[in-house]
């Protein structure tokens, strides 16, 4: 197979030209690695007896109902 799909001198051209934009809103805070995130969720759910999701979600309501 002779040749290649474009020259290597042009590699990364578009990414270098793209302006860097700061994170805003929901994406402003960097997410924790999955291992740490799941450990925190486990601690909330099992050790503290709280639901790890949003307070008004269906899962949280079910968990609160079963605790009563």
Q: What is the residue-level pLDDT of the chain in tens, covering all 68 positions? A: 566 677 888 888 999 999 999 888 888 888 899 999 999 988 888 888 777 667 788 877 887 776 65
Which pLDDT score, from 0 to 100, does residue 66 have?
67
Which pLDDT score, from 0 to 100, does residue 4 have?
67
Q: Count other C-beta atoms under 10 Å from residue 14's C-beta.
A: 8
Which pLDDT score, from 0 to 100, does residue 38 have?
92
- The token duo for 7 is 């020259």
Q: Count other C-beta atoms under 10 Å from residue 35's C-beta.
A: 8
The full set of domain ranges for the chain reads: 32-68
Which pLDDT score, from 0 to 100, does residue 19 have?
93
């Amino acid at each position: 197979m002779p040749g290649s799909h474009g020259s290597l001198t042009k590699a990364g051209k578009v990414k270098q030209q793209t302006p860097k934009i700061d994170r805003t809103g929901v994406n402003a805070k960097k997410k924790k690695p999955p291992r740490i995130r799941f450990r925190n969720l486990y601690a909330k759910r099992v050790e503290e007896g709280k639901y790890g999701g949003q307070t008004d979600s269906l899962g949280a309501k079910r968990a609160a109902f079963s605790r009563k």
